[in-house]
Structure 1
Amino acid sequence: MLQANDSQELVDHMRDWVDPCNNLLFADVHGDMGYLCRGRIPIRSRLNGWLPVPGWTGEHEWEGDIPFDEMPISINPAEGYIATANNRPVGDDYPYYIAIDFTPEFRVKRVTHGLKSLDHPTAADMAQVHAQRVSIPALAYQDMLKAVEPLDESSESAKSLLLDWNGEMDASLVQPTIYSAMRDALLKEIFETNLTEDLANDAWHPSDRGLGSFSNRLKARLAEMIGQNDLSLLKQGDTWATVVARALANGVALLTETLGEDIDEWRWERIHQARPKHNLSTAFPELAELLNPPAIPASGDGDTPLQGGYSSATPATVTSLSVARYSYDPSNWDDSLWVVPLGSSGHPGSHHYFDQSETWRQVKMIPMGYDWEKIEASCESQQTLRPG
């Protein structure tokens, strides 16, 4: 990869790539760009993707690998841009099974919206795409709320706020907090209805690492089911309007208990925070305050390009975020930008341990640095590594 002279050469170098199978996006100094789903993917039945299958019967054998030339690829598309956000990269007409564990298309749609809203963008303009925080499911729930009869006065106030909202999951707003609490309460009720209360409680356990991934996919499916008026997961006699009314009341009750009665103080930033943890802080809790970087209030959620995903069991802790933001300019590498959530040093004693946090929170970036003369002129220290 590091020796490729152009995009086509880079693609050719990927022919023998085995793992991980992932999205590779690229651009070169000649003005070419592309996308490649790289890695070896076996040819197998679509039925193999849902549940484990017996491997000893000979009925579920792989039939070789998807040929490299038939892997999902796009070079210089007519649209003039490429957008991807862990969504399914192929349509239903693609002849091979790849996987079922793709994220919904909410984020990639907002990325596309951000890209198309820019005219001759610079590397710095890409921050506007990184900052996209409108939640498509939130807008869908707004439509449902119009038919909801609130169960109490607090729910009525919460409903009014949600209907007077543009769907932005902004840290300074209270609507994202109400919407998320309502949606999580709805998910919990769906669990209890279909799994029984005991199993639902087991599935809701915060230590269950699978909950976040599974629940986010079910959340996306519920938004679709509401739009289709699919009642198959509801109790007999219920409608989405009645279930959402209960979810709104339960969510508001939980927020009142945890954040107080003043609804104007329920800002998303109060509970939705990234809480970075040093690996040694658990072993040495007395040093946790020195080892752990400060918490970072975060906008967004799991459905927005400005990623801020969380587990419904622990909504106060962001577990999925953009660990690095980049914007490259192949026409002038010195214009390239980047930022990370913390800093460039992993040493808790360094002032670079988390000095990028505020820049990252504000969805800004810093120069990447390619010109060695400029780097040497501006660097604050140098380190020389010699073999022992």
Structure 2
Amino acid sequence: MSALQDLPTSADERPAPNADVLFIGGEMPLWQHLANAVMLAGLVTIAVAVVWVMSSLPRIDGQVPVHGLELPAKVARDSIGVPTITARSVRDGYFSIGWVHAQDRIWQMEWQRRIGAGRLAELVGAPAVETDKFMRTLGLYRLAEASFERLDKPTRDALIAYAQGVNAWIDAHRHRLPPEFLLLGTRPEPWRPADSLVWQRMMAMQLAGDWREDLLRAKLATRLDAKRLNELWPGTTDGPITLSAATAQSLLALVPEAVRPRQASNAWVLSGTLTESGKPLLANDPHLPFQAPSLWYLLTVEAPGLMVSGGTVPGVPFHLVGHNGRIAWGMTTTHADTVDLVIEKPSADGQSYQIGKQARPFLRRDETIRVKDAADVTITVRETQHGPIISDLIGGARPDQVVALRATALEANDLTAQAFLKMGRAVDWRGFTQALGDLHSPALNFMYGDIEGNIGFMTAGRIPRRKSGDGTMPAEGWSDRGDWIGWIPFDKLPQSLNPKAKRLINANNQVAGPRYPFLITAHWPIGARAERIDQLLQDRKALTTFDMSAIQADLVSLPALELRDLLGSPTTADPRANEALRLLTEWNGRMEPDRPEPLILNAWIEEVWRGLFADELGEDFAHFRAVRPFVLIDALTRHRHWCDDVTTAKAESCDEQVQTALDRAMARLSGQYGASVVSWRWATAHRAVFDHPILSAVPMLSRLGRTEIETGGDDFTVSRGTFAPGRFQHVHGAGLRAVFDLSNLSASTFVVAVGQAGNPLSRHYDDQALAWRSGRGFAIGQHLDHMATLELVPSY
């Protein structure tokens, strides 16, 4: 008998449903119906959410109508998500850059402009109020708005076209936004040219000379004599000015992360006589604090009268590092001292301040900060002729301690955006340097190469000339001694074209010799990275792009070797310490991720640093924790009085400090990494972490936006591995690496940390992380016929 004969032949023969079985549409109790409904609603909600979130990923092929585009354009993306835009006019080129930036990075752009405008609290609430207060006090966004009309017409047109492209994408994707907008329950506002211009002013504050050090010096000057102070900051000539320790401490804590000064970048260029191709090679890797997504976005744009390829910043239409088929350029920060703190003398009623024998009224304006889920906060900003009063942000500040901040980034007339547009269109050294004449802030060093074989270097930007003093201490506002009396003349800024050495190198080291007639800064970063690059280029010829990338990935730390030799081999009864000393004696100075020596030496150095300076600096040691190698070397050799611990009755020697520091370091490392010294690894502690500013704060999603990777290096290796003192987490380094081959610019290579995409769900969010760590770059914009191509067509 077949199985079909066993089936019921009529409804009467079918078995009754089991009332105890839960299924949809059967006979169930009411509570089961409700449970099913809730479960179904939950599944539908999850499905809709998944579809909605996934729809935020960019479309990369096919055809899409775009309102505001004048003529068809194409966006071809390669295997790592780098777009090549082909447009039919300059206007549509900039429009398409805006559209593509928004497509991949709209959340980053929204976050970035809100920081600059002091409107972050509207998104995240009370935790951002203090940052907003500081940014509103600086007034960067107001200055950006005002400076737009001062730009020339081509620059204004480019900024307008870019904003129109961003807004075209926003208008078409209001219901398909990245997940951050869903989490915070917001949507992007229309983009404005000032949103692009404010980023440059934020960067100018971050790349200024370290004015927070001025505050620390002023605070320490209240209890350290001038000789001791000069040993901590060699070269300081300004005398101390009265600034209470409480005010200085409060101001140190006040500065938000977005504008804290940073050291940054390597760049060098070689003449064709040193290269295999006979044409110049140029390498550049700008350094900034790590973030996710990366600050940098790679892009090529081609249109009649416009061709540029290289590194852009989402929110800004112009290439900051790149080539245009004829010239290539990269940059480092000069670390010029372009910020001063000015102590003003206010009247008793706080309505005016003193300039010479005259009283001038403070300029005042009210700023209202909207706060999510809380009441608005209103602040009154006071300004003097020197700048905004930042001490008003301190609760309970002394009325006679009025501190203004003067910075080139706060100058009303700033044409820097115009300079970047012109640089991208220059075809030779003369045109390039003329473009740099419009670059006002920040002060930057530029490396240059062209297809004719020329190489060059130039410092550009406004660097103040002071009537007296070196800017290392707060100035007296009521006198004119620290006043700015103009800028270093543009034609007197350091520059070089086709030097006899056939190479030019800068890694934030000093750009002018002792006979240079103008003061750029009183304190230059140490030149260890530049010295190492020079070592690696010595007596070498026939160099290739591969050789340049290998230098960018170099892990030898020259200061580490010098400190290793200085610390020597103290006598110890600890077998672990003796094993560590044996390893260090045979070590080559390479900060390799798999070796124990970098971990041993850095822990030891940190303990020596703490032993020498923590006792006398007290609470201020927290601001002085990052080891300064040559200050430490001098303290162990020329200024040995630092070795005595002033908190003890016994006078400690430097040898004793070095030995006890080794014991402390070994105890610390053994507790963290185990008893086997040879099994320790630098990369166990030294990991580059790229955190998303929003997702990192959401417990269930924190891992989604985070990229973490083991790395080598330290603060002084060419492959920059700056770490957080005490924890060794890698927090600062190259966000972009580029190598330009002037014999074939289309073969130039790039890599960003950590990927092109801003959406954590994209495969391009961190797909360059491994290549970035190894220093391997990618050629972009090649083989367009084999890329995913999206056609943008005008929609009216």
The aligned counterpart of 2:674 is 260
1:214-229 aligned within 5 A: 214-216=624-626, 218-226=628-636, 228-229=637-638
Structure-2 residue corresponding to 1:207: none
CA distance in structure 1 between the aligned counterparts of 2:539 and 2:672, rounded to whole angstroms:
39
* Larger radius of gyration between Structure 1 and Structure 2: 2
Q: CA deviation at 1:365?
A: 1.5
Deviations 1:212-248 (A, max 9, x none): xx5446334213444x443132217444332221221
* Deviations 1:360-387, CA, capped at 9 Å, x for gaps: 1122212133x5xx2x223234363867
AA aligned opposite 1:243: Q
CA distance in 2, matches of 1:46, 1:331: 48
Aligned match of 1:345 in 757, 761, 782? 757
* Mapping for residues 202-351 of structure 1, pairs under 5 Å: 203-204=621-622, 211=623, 214-216=624-626, 218-226=628-636, 228-235=637-644, 237-293=651-707, 295-315=708-728, 317-351=729-763
Q: CA deviation at 1:154?
A: 2.0
Asked if the contact 2:469–2:481 (Cα under 8 Å) also holds between the matched residues in 1, the reply is no
Deviations 1:150-200 (A, max 9, x none): 35222211111111101111111100000110111112222323213xx15
Question: What residue is the counterpart of 2:790 in the other structure?
Answer: 382
CA distance in 1, matches of 2:693, 2:791: 25
Which of 518, 532, 544 does residue 122 from structure 1 map onto? 544
For residues 21 and 224 of structure 1, what CA distance do their matches in structure 2 show? 30
Cα displacement (A) at 1:46: 6.8
**TM-aligned CA distance change 1:233 to 1:381, over 3 Å:** farther
Aligned residues of 2:713 and 2:721 also touching (Cα < 8 A) = yes
Q: Deviations over 1:287-341 (max 9, x none)?
A: 1122222x111110001111000121332x1111111111001221122111112
Cα deviation for residue 55 of structure 1 reads: 1.5
Q: How many residues align?
A: 369
Q: In the alignment, is residue 368 of structure 1 matched against residue 780 of structure 2?
A: yes
CA distance in 1, matches of 2:653, 2:530: 30
Higher relative contact order (CA 8 A, sep 6+): 2
2: CA distance between counterparts of 1:72 and 1:382? 45
RMSD: 2.1
Distance 1:78 1:386 in 2: 53
Q: Which has the higher strand share?
A: 2
Letter in 2 for 1:185: E
**Does the aligned pair in 2 maintain the 1:45–1:97 contact within 8 Å?**
no
List gaps (5 residues or longer) in structure 1. Answer: 205-210
TM superposition score normalised by structure 2 = 0.45
Give the corresponding residue for 2:302.
none
Distance 1:61 1:283, change over 3 A: same
| Amino acid in the other structure paired with 1:167 | G
Counting aligned pairs with the same residue, the percent is 28
Unaligned runs of 5+ in 2: 1-422, 646-650
Q: Is 1:145 aligned with 2:567?
A: yes
Whole-Å separation in 2 of the counterparts to 1:69 and 1:322: 31
Residue 641 of structure 2 aligns to a residue whose secondary structure is coil
The match for 1:93 among 515, 520, 532 is 515
Equivalent position amino acid for 1:219 in 2: P
Give the partner amino acid of 1:305.
V
* Distance in 2 separating the partners of 1:100 and 1:47: 10
The CA deviation at 1:94 is 1.4
Instruction: Name the CA shift for 1:238/1:76 in 2 (closer, same or farther; >3 Å).
Output: farther
TM-score of the aligned structures, taking structure 1 as reference length:
0.89
Classify 1:282/1:46 alpha carbon distance in 2 versus 1 (closer, same or farther; 3 Å): farther
When residues 191 and 361 of structure 1 are mapped into structure 2, their CA distance, relative to the original with a 3 A threshold, is same
Distance in 1 (alpha carbons) for counterparts of 2:573 and 2:474: 44
The equivalent residue for 1:2 is 424
